[in-house]
Structure 1
Amino acid sequence: MFKIGEFSKLTQVSVRMLRYYDETGLLKPAEVNKYTGYRLYCSKQIPTLNKILFLRDTGFTVLEIDNALKHWDANYIKEQLKIKEKETKENINLENQKLTKIRTAMSDINKKQIAIHCNVTLKSISSYDVLSLRKIIPNYFCEGDLWKELCDYIKVEKLNISEDNYSFAIYHDTEFKDKNVDVEVCIITNQKGLNKGNFIFHQTEPLEKAACSMVYGPYENISPAYKSFVHWLEENNQYEITGISRQVCHKGPWNETDPSKYLTEIQIPVKLKEKF
């Protein structure tokens, strides 16, 4: 079982939305601790959560989502999608994104959805001397702006740091957030320098044990990969999450033109649970 913050982080759905889905009855916690009142979730709830997110992203209201979940089959969903397609066409300028998702869903509705299950390995992560930039950014898609700002700073300050050096991002929020996310981008360097503003030379914390998984392909594959950690942690329930996650971009836009060949490593710190 996972606390709401852990489930939020692994499914990439904010705590605020999980609480909202609980309040509306769309996705109740698998269990509520009778002593603490904490909401607890499990991996069996992910398919329902995926349906909710899919329907939400195609413009369904809470009432419509609830009705669809109660009558879920391909023909019924197709008919509902046709209704939504007509509504979307009437608001083309505002609804183009929803229209694309509906058309895609209508053509794929009978196809079996295949979840991305990543191979997870355990390893220790060394401490690194880095130059880092940490900021609150609008959302995760703005991480690229941080990397550009860091690289521009290196050039302006004429630092002897190659952009090809090992680099990674640290996500300091303990839960998934839709906006105002706390992200730190780091590039390893042996060079020392003066700290200026948010540009800091420091040593990262070592991770004694981390559950790591390689994600191949475009960045859209990262979110499903996080969800695969839910299954891994349930199957290896002797471990628990102990800290904030990191992502290492081994191949990305700066050194690979084909997104299908991107390579991203997710690192989640874990430890053996204490026995009582």
Structure 2
Amino acid sequence: MFGIGDFARLGLVSVRMLRHYDAIGLLRPAHVDPVTGYRSYQAEQLSRLNRIVAIKDLGFTLEQVGAILDEQVGTQELHGMVRLRRAQLEAQINADLARLRSVEARLRTIETEGRMRTAEVVLKKVDPVRVAQLSARAASYESRDIEPVIVPLFDEICRRVEAASVRITGPGLAHYLPDDDGAVIVHACLPVNVPPGGHGLDGGLDGGFDGGFDVVDLPAIETAATIIHRGPMMAVGSTFQALAHWIEENGYRSSTLAREISLHVPVNHDEWVTELQIEVVPC
């Protein structure tokens, strides 16, 4: 058997921790000297110690650890718990990183205040366009909620259009519709050359394409205030701010959420070029 100090070193824990586990009944010594009170442990108890530490590090309380161990958790179940906890931690890390990127983008927007180039705004008519489209719901219009939705949507619509052998006729675009409770419906679109009723369309337009995507006609925008954004969409706030100033200063108001036209989308997001188009009407 091993004294408490040796057992702690072999188990990679502290003596104080072993005493606490003994006090709450989580890991009793194999033997306690009735005279000296010295605790002794057996090598086989390292198995229980390893399980205690592993389950505790998954985020469970010591009380929960004891209940789990009393149910004789096996190695396979522990692996499952670890995989689940890893997924939870990764999701939390990704959420925290997205929040940090959002804060950094807001700071960049604040830094550009007073230096916005409203002269770059162009007022124009946008022609109607036929698109292949996939849609999904985002929790809000904030960049940190939009990005995890729009990126996989574009990946998927590209894959499906290519698989259907449909010709793409222009740059990809995104448009948005307000939904309940501040959420938005996100649409990822590719302009396509598909005549009504042809190329596998079932019942014409409005979602009957057998390639797994909708084919719809986006209406023209009679009067659109447009501006070019350069860089990642997470940092689009300063460009929207410039657009907002132009709209207000020129006696307009916006009537819809913006369309985003992906003019240049290399691997490096800092080199992205996107045109923002907002339908406006006179005040």
One-letter amino acid matched to 1:160: V
Q: Which consecutive unaligned segments of at least 5 residues does structure 1 have?
A: 1-92
Q: Could you tell me how far apart the structure 1 residues matched to 2:226 and 2:181 are? A: 18
After TM superposition, the runs of 4+ consecutive aligned structure 1 residues lying more than 3 A away are 93-98, 174-177
- Indicate conservation of the 8 Å contact 1:215/1:221, yes or no: no
- Indicate conservation of the 8 Å contact 1:167/1:187, yes or no: yes
Three-state SS of the structure 2 residue aligned to 1:227 is: helix
Aligned-pair CA distance for 1:117 = 1.9
**Cα separation, partners in 2 of 1:217 and 1:244, compared to 1, 3 Å:** closer
- Indicate conservation of the 8 Å contact 2:258/2:277, yes or no: yes
Three-state SS of the structure 2 residue aligned to 1:172 is: strand
One-letter amino acid matched to 1:223: G
Matched length: 165
Alignment of 1:63-142 (within 5 A): 113-115=111-113, 117-118=116-117, 119-137=120-138, 139-141=145-147, 142=149
Name the larger-Rg structure: 2
Aligned-pair CA distance for 1:196 = 4.5
1:106-141 deviations in Å (ceiling 9; x for gaps): xx9xxx933362421100000011111122145201
Q: Could you tell me how far apart the structure 2 residues matched to 1:97 and 1:207 are? A: 36
**Cα separation, partners in 2 of 1:147 and 1:95, compared to 1, 3 Å:** closer
Aligned-pair CA distance for 1:229 = 2.4
1:37-90 deviations in Å (ceiling 9; x for gaps): xxxxxxxxxxxxxxxxxxxxxxxxxxxxxxxxxxxxxxxxxxxxxxxxxxxxxx
* Aligned equivalent of 2:189: 186
Q: Which consecutive unaligned segments of at least 5 residues does structure 2 have?
A: 1-92, 140-144, 202-207
State the TM-score, normalizing by the size of structure 1. 0.51
**Cα separation, partners in 2 of 1:244 and 1:154, compared to 1, 3 Å:** same
**Aligned partner of 1:143 among 147, 150, 154:** 150
Q: Which has the higher contact order (CA 8 A, sep 6+)?
A: 1
* Aligned equivalent of 1:223: 237
**Cα separation, partners in 2 of 1:155 and 1:233, compared to 1, 3 Å:** closer
One-letter amino acid matched to 2:186: V
The percentage of aligned residue pairs carrying the same residue is 21
**Cα separation, partners in 2 of 1:215 and 1:200, compared to 1, 3 Å:** same
Q: Could you tell me how far apart the structure 2 residues matched to 1:220 and 1:232 are? A: 21
- Indicate conservation of the 8 Å contact 1:174/1:244, yes or no: no
Q: CA RMSD in A?
A: 3.4
* Aligned equivalent of 2:260: 247
State the TM-score, normalizing by the size of structure 2. 0.50
Aligned-pair CA distance for 1:165 = 3.1
Aligned-pair CA distance for 1:94 = 11
- Indicate conservation of the 8 Å contact 2:209/2:215, yes or no: no
Q: Could you tell me how far apart the structure 2 residues matched to 1:188 and 1:199 are? A: 12
* Aligned equivalent of 1:267: 277
- Indicate conservation of the 8 Å contact 1:130/1:186, yes or no: yes
**Cα separation, partners in 2 of 1:257 and 1:202, compared to 1, 3 Å:** closer
Aligned-pair CA distance for 1:168 = 0.7
Q: Could you tell me how far apart the structure 2 residues matched to 1:127 and 1:95 are? A: 37
